[in-house]
Amino acid sequence: MKNTYRFFVPAEAIQGETLAVAERELLHQWNNVLRLRVGQHIALLDGLGMGYIAELTSLNKREAQGRILQRYAANGEPSINVTLYLALTRGERFEIALQKCTELGATAFVPLLCERSQADVSATKRERWQRIIREAAEQAGRGRLPSLHEAQTVAQALPQARGHLLLAETGQTLSFKAALALEPRQELAIWSGPEGGWSDNELEAARQAGLVSVSLGSRILRAETAPIAALAAVMFQFDQWFSPNSC
């Protein structure tokens, strides 16, 4: 069903062989953006690891109904859980990182307010980030929606960060590849800095908190590129490129 639209729906929207959706945003998308029609097949993801193929039997501005044609395990989730602490950056750069890292398999995101961050953490902005994550997860056939945590300052995030990997500039003694090979992992947390890099104060605080500074190599990457490159390397290291996807 590679050409079928995919959507995350609340798990309770699927009862037995029937579908009932009343979420305003979904209905707007189905009616006004995609202009779906009765009889059309869609793929649904319940956020709990299950996927469904459904046929729409009715669709209006208040509700959509359908019948479930097929159930399957949504195999779009990696076996390693990766949380990304992403420094807030200007314009669309933060959003690009959210989108691409969701596609690659990130489990959770923590927006970071750094000394060199230019931050907008308004409710409107957060809603936009949630939508970007949802749409990227749907496109990628993810089985679960990545979590978006509340924005934190570096000082707020450090107490729980011992052992996390901090992407630093070139010249670090430990390569990212070597850090991944240190021990078997089922969970990983990666910190990616802002435009202009981490401040000296932040680097020292991270060192004292027990973060492991690592390098992605001799080339200097943009703030939005570094987390994407790091996550791709993680998925390759742990053989996640080869997991079958039933969608």
Query: pLDDT by residue (tens digit) across 110-164?
Result: 999 999 887 778 888 999 999 999 999 999 989 899 999 999 999 999 999 999 9
pLDDT bucket at 247, cuts 50 / 70 / 90: very low
What average pLDDT does the chain have? 90
Q: What is the pTM of this model?
A: 0.86
Nearest to 74 by CA among 38, 116, 31, 45: 45
Indicate if the pLDDT at residue 2 is higher than 70: no
Model confidence pLDDT, tens digit, residues 193-208 = 999 899 999 999 999 9
Helix (H) or strand (E) holding 234: helix 225-237
Enumerate domains of the chain plus CATH numbers: 6-73 (2.40.240.20), 81-242 (3.40.1280.10)
Q: What is the mean pLDDT of residues 36-57?
A: 94
pLDDT for 74 equals 86
Q: What is the mean pLDDT of residues 42-58?
A: 93
Q: Which residues pair with 18 in a beta bridge?
A: 15, 67
Q: Which two tokens stand for residue 45?
A: 């993801």
Model confidence pLDDT, tens digit, residues 84-111 = 999 998 879 999 999 999 999 999 999 9
Asked if 47 and 85 touch (Cβ cutoff 8 Å), the reply is no
Question: Rounded to an integer, what is the distance from CA 135 to the centroid of its chain?
Answer: 10
pLDDT for 11 equals 92
pLDDT bucket at 185, cuts 50 / 70 / 90: confident
Task: Tell me which residue has tokens 């993801």.
Answer: 45
By the 10 Å C-beta count (0-12 exposed, 13-18 middle, 19+ buried), 85 is classed as buried
pLDDT for 246 equals 44
Percent over 90 (pLDDT), the chain: 73
Choice between 239 and 1, residue whose per-residue pLDDT is larger: 239
Indicate if the pLDDT at residue 3 is higher than 80: no
Q: Which residues contact 99 (CB under 8 A, 6 or more apart)?
A: 132, 133, 135, 136
pLDDT for 183 equals 72
Choice between 184 and 110, residue whose per-residue pLDDT is larger: 110
